[in-house]
Structure 1
Amino acid sequence: MRTKSLKLITVGVLGVGIGILWSMILFLECKKLNMAMSDTSFLIT
């Protein structure tokens, strides 16, 4: 019983960690894209 709950907790923690990492990576990529887009629009104008 105890090992099962421990396993669930580890899986949950790992899932949350991966989720946070993924969202951070996506956020940084979006920032890069926005910067690139603003750079190109700046060059166009």
Structure 2
Amino acid sequence: MYDLSTPKETQITTNESNQESPAICGDRIVWQDSRNGGSDIYVCTISK
């Protein structure tokens, strides 16, 4: 994640599997992740 208002970059996940199709809605980031062998949807709440 890259904050456009500051030059700060934050890693959302450290898992090495495929993460695809990210989307941001309000203070949440969602993405498709295959870490468990299938496609699951994960969400992260962005804290300021």
TM-score tier after normalising by the smaller chain length? under 0.3
Q: Could you say which structure has the greater relative contact order, defined with CA pairs below 8 angstroms and 6 or more residues apart?
A: 2
Greater fraction strand: 2
TM-score, normalised with respect to structure 2: 0.22
> What is the TM-score with the length of structure 1 in the denominator?
0.23
